Structure 1
Amino acid sequence: MAEQEPQAGNGRASTFNINPPVFFGAAAIILAFVVLGAAAPTAAEAFFKLLQSAVLGTFGWFYILSVAIFLACILILGFSRYGMLKLGPDEAEPDFPYLTWVSMLFAAGMGIGLMFFAVGEPMMHFSAPPEAEPRTIAAQREAMLITFFHWGIHAWAIYAVVGLSLAYFSYRYNLPLTLRSGLYPLLKERITGPIGHIVDIFAITGTVFGIATSLGFGVLQINAGLGYLVGLPVNETVQVVLIVCITAVATLSVVTGLDRGVRRLSELNLTLAVLLMFFVLFIGPTAQLMRDFVQNIGLYLDRFLLKTFNIYAYEPRPWIDAWTLFYWAWWISWSPFVGMFIARISRGRTVREFVTAVLFVPVGFTFLWLTVFGNSAMIIDTTVANGALADAVAADVSVALFRFLDYLPLSVVTSTIAVALVSVFFVTSSDSGSLVVDTIAAGGATDTPAIQRVFWCAMEGIVAIVLLLAGGLSALQTATIASALPFSVIMLILCWGLFRGMNADLARRAAYQRPAASYPAAGLSWQKRLGLLLNVPGRAEVATFVETVAVPAFEAVAEEMRGRDLEARVERDGEGCVSLVVPAEDVRDFVYGVSRMSQRLPVFSALDAAQADERHEARTFFSDGSRGYDIMGMTREQVIIDVLAQFERYQRQVQSQKAALYAGAPEHTIEQRGAG
């Protein structure tokens, strides 16, 4: 069990559960944008254009370099010695079976963006590629290469950085599930102060604008689809009404507790999306599309490194601003949303499992989806459509999917399904996004009143409306690009924090092996050890042991340490856990704790399983999440000996780390609170 840390600034009132500086700070920044856009939409549009030009002109290189660093960091963490570390205590087991977990990651890769851009982006690059001759074979190759690049592992490396930081420091260090926790190796308890508040504020603002951008894309596509199906006018009034209606459905889900129904609807949505993809694949030139899929992957791998760092520095082109830089900013702004989802489902996985699955599982599906829709659209445009599809997409990208489906059988049915898919993705994005934002605004708490999620749900819809009215897609892109800039800096710091935290954990393992004297069986007679093996203690027996043996042992050691000018205290957490804590500067506090735990006894038949008893234990835990052990049966003196053995190990580790620093080792080998 990891060291308990206070919730970062939870301000709990009778109705609300918020971290006031974060909640009100983020709300104020978002409302300032909303008021500007609502009060003076024309001036806001001019301001957004100026802001986008200034940010990209000055910091475009920074976005490109940052994403390259994110990808390099996540690959190093996943496929080096750090990969053996677990997202949680060393003995933690995954919360979900592997196939279930992979399926959930697969679902994370699907959303409004893929529905909107699957046909639109390849067709737009086909019509106006940055380097090839438009509407040629070379343009087809370049269109798919660029689309793969924008939706490939760079995007998921961004998500993985945030997800890994959240999972590692929340599950292994028992810190709140907020972005500030990733700065713990650098700031220690100061993450609960102003710097931590600023980090969470930028995470919220970036997420809200990123979700609003996706909702904007979604409502444009829904409006275009309804216009195609039932002749509904395509204009801002209709789009505002659609945002209000669909946001109201998401709000209803929050208020009435229909989350389970929405989740099941989203599972059905994913199934329909996959069926739609296979319909397009099998109704079209299947063999050709599979050949295209293989070659698209080859082109992507061949140009991977060059595309990663290409910003057209020697021959500047506005294309890079409208596409690659916008995408990188969009993924960065979405990273707290997707990152928290993948963190929540990944407890107990190793870092290597996490990185491998997050980088490659969703990307594999995404590449197949883009090939099926993108290559099919270009095949249709160069044959039966004779350029008409490309012209329609160039005129209005939001109609791309429906114009494409119009060339296939059952177009009314498939277009209806597409509108339904985008609508449900809209609802689930708004509902889930409000939960993520509310969790951050509440200092990591998830048991917040529904009214708070309603507030953020409404805020996302309002921001989407205002940005659409204040400049449409251009305003949406500008808000995303601007809000992602400060958060990209925070993400670089999260990478640094991950390296420092994992380095300290590995240093602890390498510094020493546990001495025999520290095992709970040491010092016991063989008869006593046999008795412990055969005894099945109950809950009351363990509670009595903790109060009459462990606590007096801790208090005796703490009193002796205080008499030797060491600060030491005995802490309780209200859940039956008791620990001896010796605070330290620059390194992790020494913690030796005991928690009351239970586990099922081994069984060998179904009947035994139904009637199996539980074995209760007094299990140790330490501040680094390392494996604990049962100390039931020890005497007070034996517990004291075990505490001192662990304290001796702790001191050796600290000395080893400091010696490494003085010898010229990187600073990040010591700035971490090591094991107790």
Structure 2
Amino acid sequence: MTIENETDYEVGQDNVNILGLDIHNPVFFISGGIIVLFVFFAATFQAPMTEFFSWLRPAVTESFDWFLATAANIFVLFCIVLIFSPFGSIRLGGKDAQPDFTYTGWFAMLFAAGMGIGLMFYGVSEPVSHFSASFATDAGTADSWAPLSGAAGDVEAARRLGMAATIFHWGLHPWAIYAVVGLALAFFAYNRGLPLTIRSAFYPLLGERVWGWPGHLIDVLAVFATLFGLATSLGIGAEQANAGLNHLFGLPVSETSKIMLIIGITGIALFSVVAGLDAGVKRLSEINMALAALLLLFVILVGPTLAILTGFFEYLGAYVVNLPALANPFGRTDQHFFDGWTAFYWAWWISWSPFVGMFIARVSRGRTVREFLICVLLIPSLVCVLWMTAFGSAALHQIVEQGSNAVAEATLELQLFVMLEAMPFAAITSFLGIVLVVVFFVTSSDSGSLVIDTITAGGKVDAPVPQRVFWAVFEGLVAVVLLLAGGLAALQAAAITTGIPFALVLLGMCVALWKGLASERARLQSA
């Protein structure tokens, strides 16, 4: 199919103005109405919803873990093929387009967009969890929580395997998911003049129907995936902030405390929404990156520095060696690990992909396809490897070399603060950790509301502020009702349930992007 008429569509032509709001009908009404009803029923019928989410998470994961793993593998392979294909030389924005940002600024924004609260929550807890399960598990035990059935009794093997499994969840696979969405949005927006919304990527497959109900359905799915993925992150952030405040100041760990934290931090996010992109998100992101770099540097210098620096390469090598086995969805002997960790992560990253992908697209004009994919895959992945190596090595050093089980015995949301407590200036660094969680919360909420608003406004990036306020408020409300309806299990169930159907959207996006790039290359050659 040759694409010829994309630029005939004018951004916002289907929008309607109601009470000063610029609404893309019917995407806003369908998605907004369903979200409002979900919040109402989840808040009204808490007991049935708790029971429902307790059943939903394992049921969905066990049924679709193979599909999520296969889809994630396809995204990685698709990106690698594009890098080495002739399409790699195509420039986003046209052959004369120049990058809007320097490499330094671009790399910082790529990293800031993708992980956020997850790095704070899982930076210590995931390496410790995998190590503990691997070391204690009898080798070859079926259905264990240890990755690849563990390395029973072998400290170093368990350490390498635990870190390899952690890097697997934070390395190439999530960033390939983000890269597919970001590249598709950037290409069809900058090279074809289409609106910056998910449906635009399907023009090669749907043609003009992309502006009708098939396109509406795609955008509605994108809204649900983004909102529930963000709500999962916000709920996890509230869990960790509550644990940290209890650890430092004795604030009770309770549903009431978590709800008040979500309400308070969402209120801060609203100020950022009103301030606008440059004064709000940009400034907070810069503060966030500086604080995160400061905490990372502190852990490297004060923790087991040599173990961290050598571990970076050692664990990266272990990741490469174990990657085929970790990525294989069939014939697993570590089903609990595969369902409880990998399947959840892949669904979570897929649900985040409209949010992260749109942000990456907005800052990547002027890059070639090859440059875009190499940098989006490698730079943030390596930063995540360094982060996980630093925090994971520091925690494992305390367990193995210092003989302290305090970190391993703490709850997941508390393990970061217990690890920092064994280092100098514990009160300061723990407080810094809480601040980072809060700022990640604010930037995620603000940026997420901007992305959802862009989708529901038909691709307009300058829709009225009240619409972003609406979505920021309901992101917080969804996080609240999910916490009330089952806590972390409900948050994970929401991410998985919305991530699975959106994985189908991403697979279709790969086909559409390939056809679009082929058409662009043919056009350039004929010119």
Whether TM-score is above 0.5 comes out as yes
Structure with higher Rg: it is 1
Q: Unaligned stretches of 5+ in structure 1?
A: 515-676
More helix by proportion, 1 or 2? Answer: 2
Partner of 1:672: none
Deviations 1:362-397 (A, max 9, x none): 1111100100000110011123352222112xxx11
Whether the 8 Å CA contact 2:226–2:452 is kept in 1: the answer is: yes
Contact 1:224/1:234 (8 A) holds in 2: yes
- For 2:70 and 2:91, the matched residues in 1 are separated by 29
Give the RMSD, CA atoms, in angstroms. Answer: 1.8
Kindly state the Cα deviation for residue 128 of structure 1 after the two structures are TM-superposed: 1.6
Q: Are 1:46 and 2:51 an aligned pair?
A: yes
1:665 is aligned to: none
**Distance in 2, Cα, partners of 1:418 & 1:315:** 36
CA distance in 2, matches of 1:174, 1:345: 16
- Conserved? CA contact 2:186–2:364, under 8 Å: yes
Shift of 1:137: 2.5
Question: Which residue in 2 is equivalent to 1:437?
Answer: 452
Per the normalisation by structure 1, the TM-score is 0.73
CA distance, structure 1, for counterparts of residue 64 and residue 302 of structure 2: 45
Once the two structures are superposed, residues 314-362 of structure 1 have per-residue CA deviations (whole angstroms, 9 ceiling, x without a partner) of: 5462221110000000000000111011100001111001001100111
User: What is the alpha-carbon distance in structure 2 between the residues aligned to residue 258 and residue 76 of structure 1?
Assistant: 35
Query: Could you tell me which amino acid in structure 2 is paired with residue 106 of structure 1?
Result: F
Give the CA deviation at 1:262: 4.7
Partner of residue 361 from structure 2, selected from 337, 343, 346: 343
Q: Shift of residue 270 of structure 1?
A: 1.0
- CA displacement 1:225-268 (0-9 Å, x = unmatched): 11111111111100000000000111122235485155323212
Classify the secondary structure of the residue corresponding to 2:514.
helix
Query: Compared with structure 1, are the counterparts of its residues 134 and 275 closer, same or farther at alpha carbon in structure 2 (3 Å cutoff)?
Result: farther
For 2:10 and 2:221, the matched residues in 1 are separated by 21
Which deviates more from structure 2 when the two are superposed, residues 51-60 or residues 130-139? 130-139
Q: Distance in 1 between matches of 2:275 and 2:116?
A: 24
**Change over 3 Å in CA distance of 1:96–1:257 after alignment to 2:** closer
Please tell me whether residue 172 in structure 1 is matched to residue 191 in structure 2. Answer: yes
Q: Is the 8 A contact 2:304 2:393 kept in 1?
A: no
Partner residue of 1:334?
Answer: 352
Q: After superposition, where does 1:271-350 map in structure 2 within 5 Å?
A: 271-311=290-330, 313=331, 315=333, 317-350=335-368
Identity %: 48
1:456 deviation in Å? 0.2
2:412 aligned with 1:397, yes or no?
yes
Cα pair 1:149 1:307 within 8 Å, conserved: yes
Is the CA contact (8 Å cut-off) linking 1:126 and 1:135 kept in structure 2? no
CA contact (8 A) 1:109 1:366 kept: no
Change (3 A) 1:147 1:93: same
Match of 1:253 in 2: 272
Q: CA deviation at 1:440?
A: 0.3
Q: Assess if the C-alpha contact under 8 Å between 2:406 and 2:418 holds in 1.
A: no
Equivalent residue, structure 2, for 1:142: 161
Equivalent AA in structure 2 for residue 187 of structure 1: L
Query: How many residues matched?
Result: 508
Of the two structures, which has the highest relative contact order with CA contacts closer than 8 Å and spacing of 6 or more? 2
- Secondary structure of 2:291's counterpart equals helix
1:110 and 1:331 map into 2 onto residues whose CA distance is: 9
Tell me how far 1:2 sits from its aligned partner: 7.8
- Structure 2 vs 1, CA of residues 245 and 183 (structure 1 numbering), >3 Å: closer, same or farther? same
User: 1:356 — aligned with what?
Assistant: 374
- How far is 1:482 from its partner? 0.3
8 Å CA contact retained: 1:332, 1:488: yes
Change (3 A) 1:256 1:225: same
Partner of 1:18: helix, strand, or coil?
strand
The 3 A distance-change label for structure 1 pair 42 and 135 is: farther
- In 2, the alpha carbon distance for the partners of 1:164 and 1:11 equals 29
Task: Sort the Cα spacing of 1:148 and 1:256 in 2 relative to 1 into closer, same or farther, 3 A.
Answer: closer
Question: Residue type of the partner of 2:211?
Answer: T
Q: 1:351 to 1:472 in 2, by over 3 A?
A: same
Alpha carbons of structure 1 residues 101 and 258: separation in structure 2 relative to 1, 3 Å: closer
1:462 aligns with 2:477: yes
CA contact (8 A) 1:207 1:334 kept: yes
Q: TM-score, normalised by structure 2?
A: 0.93
**In the aligned structure 1, how far is the partner of 2:173 from the partner of 2:429?**
31
| Matched residue, 1:29 | 34
Q: Which shows bigger deviation, 125-134 or 492-501?
A: 125-134
